[in-house]
């Protein structure tokens, strides 16, 4: 009670208004920063991932500075009383909101460990998509079905995370298709290479690899997998679809009937 009384004696309407104004300015700065970085990311698309990753760290710095200034400079609260009250409130909140506390701790760890960053294409559990934001307690993914999936950070730390591009704008795409085992190997490899090289989404500064495997499914078949890099991770499905279309058309022109054609990520 004495600690609360000491803190209350330091507060006044003027200091509370000043604190509210200061925190409001911090929130406005964060919103302006997000808008500016989004504009820069759209303007300089090749550096989109690097620009987008600045926001979580800068936001943390801004809010930390704003809170410290509010407590120790504007409100100028007694440090001893403040620490005692903060410890009491911290214990109470820790007991009442353990899940939220776990998420916050996981979020802080992820800021330094970085299993993924904003702009990465990741699979977390059954969800796959682009990382849109990493908050202290939540991670948001944008899926190819245009859904926003929100995942608590504590849940992320409990399971394996598959990162498809690990900070790069490019990503390997694997496109498999099956043909009869008697098909001419040289023709298959030529058609597969042409499909990858002619695709407008292919990043040709990295190698295109064709992998052939024999499989048995009631009869012998050959699995041909085209492994190529997409110029931007957001175009991975468009690239896989384009290559499949080109491969099907080329196989039909050469009298080869594909047994099946589908796509998957590596």
CATH number, domain at 151? 2.30.30.60
- Same domain for 126 and 146, yes or no, is yes
Q: What is the pLDDT of residue 265?
A: 43
Please indicate, yes or no, if residue 199 is contained in any of the structural domains. yes
- The strand pair at 121-124 and 127-134 is best described as antiparallel
Angle at 27 between CA 23 and CA 30, to 5 degrees: 140
**140, two tokens:** 């948001």
* pLDDT above 50 (res 180): yes
CB 224 within 8 Å of CB 263 = no
- Same domain for 206 and 244, yes or no, is yes
Please indicate, yes or no, if residue 104 is contained in any of the structural domains. no
- Same domain for 257 and 197, yes or no, is yes
- Same domain for 255 and 189, yes or no, is yes
Q: Report how far residue 151's alpha carbon sits from residue 128's, in angstroms, rounded to the nearest whole number.
A: 12
* pLDDT above 50 (res 217): yes
Q: What is the pLDDT of residue 175?
A: 93
Higher pLDDT, 89 or 58: 58
pTM (two decimals): 0.65
Please indicate, yes or no, if residue 106 is contained in any of the structural domains. no
Q: Report how far residue 214's alpha carbon sits from residue 216's, in angstroms, rounded to the nearest whole number.
A: 7
Angle at 130 between CA 65 and CA 231, to 5 degrees: 115
Higher pLDDT, 89 or 222: 222
Please say which residue of 130, 147, 163 terminates a domain: 163
Q: Report how far residue 152's alpha carbon sits from residue 240's, in angstroms, rounded to the nearest whole number.
A: 31
CB 137 within 8 Å of CB 104 = yes
- Same domain for 176 and 231, yes or no, is yes
Q: Which domain holds residue 136?
A: 121-163
- What does the buried/exposed string (b/e) look like for 48-64 if buried means 16 or more CB atoms within 10 Å of the residue's CB? bbbbbbebbeebbebbe
* pLDDT above 80 (res 156): yes
Q: Report how far residue 39's alpha carbon sits from residue 250's, in angstroms, rounded to the nearest whole number.
A: 41
CA-based torsion, 137, 142, 145, 146: positive or negative: positive
Please indicate, yes or no, if residue 55 is contained in any of the structural domains. yes
Please say which residue of 107, 134, 163 terminates a domain: 163
- Same domain for 151 and 178, yes or no, is no
> What is the CATH number for 228?
3.30.70.100
Please indicate, yes or no, if residue 52 is contained in any of the structural domains. yes
- Same domain for 75 and 142, yes or no, is no
- Same domain for 76 and 14, yes or no, is yes
Please indicate, yes or no, if residue 132 is contained in any of the structural domains. yes
Number of domains in the chain: 3
Confidence band, pLDDT 50/70/90 cuts, at residue 264 = very low
Please indicate, yes or no, if residue 107 is contained in any of the structural domains. no
- Same domain for 207 and 151, yes or no, is no
Confidence band, pLDDT 50/70/90 cuts, at residue 82 = low
Confidence band, pLDDT 50/70/90 cuts, at residue 141 = very high
Please indicate, yes or no, if residue 112 is contained in any of the structural domains. no
- Same domain for 53 and 74, yes or no, is yes
- Same domain for 259 and 176, yes or no, is yes
Neighbours of 191 (CB within 10 A): 23
| DSSP character at residue 233 | G
Q: In the predicted model, what is the mean pLDDT of the chain? A: 81
Q: Report how far residue 248's alpha carbon sits from residue 195's, in angstroms, rounded to the nearest whole number.
A: 10
- Same domain for 229 and 257, yes or no, is yes
Q: φ and ψ at 207, to 5 degrees? A: -70, 150
For residues 255-264, average pLDDT: 62
């Amino acid at each position: 009670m004495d600690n609360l009384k000491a803190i209350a004696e330091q507060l006044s309407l003027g200091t509370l208004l000043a604190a509210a104004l200061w925190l409001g300015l911090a929130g406005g700065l964060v919103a302006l920063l997000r808008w500016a970085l989004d504009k820069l990311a759209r303007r300089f698309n090749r550096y989109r991932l690097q620009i987008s990753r600045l926001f979580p760290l800068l936001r943390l710095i801004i809010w930390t500075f704003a809170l410290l200034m509010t407590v120790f400079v504007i409100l100028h609260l007694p440090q001893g009383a403040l620490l005692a009250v903060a410890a009491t409130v911290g214990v109470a909140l820790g007991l009442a909101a353990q899940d939220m506390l776990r998420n916050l701790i996981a979020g802080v760890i992820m800021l330094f460990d970085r299993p993924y960053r904003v702009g990465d294409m990741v699979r977390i559990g059954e969800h796959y998509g682009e990382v849109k934001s990493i908050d202290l307690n939540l991670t948001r993914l944008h899926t190819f079905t245009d859904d926003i999936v929100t995942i608590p950070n504590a849940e992320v730390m409990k399971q394996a995370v598959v990162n498809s591009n690990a900070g790069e704008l490019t990503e390997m795409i694997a496109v498999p298709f099956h043909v009869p085992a008697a098909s001419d190997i040289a023709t298959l490899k030529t058609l597969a290479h042409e499909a990858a090289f002619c695709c407008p989404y292919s990043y040709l500064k990295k190698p295109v690899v064709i992998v052939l495997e024999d499989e048995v499914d009631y009869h012998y078949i050959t699995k041909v997998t085209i492994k190529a890099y997409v110029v931007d991770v957001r175009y991975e499905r468009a690239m896989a679809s384009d290559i499949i279309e080109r491969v099907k058309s080329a196989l039909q022109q050469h009298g080869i009937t594909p047994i099946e054609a589908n796509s998957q990520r590596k």
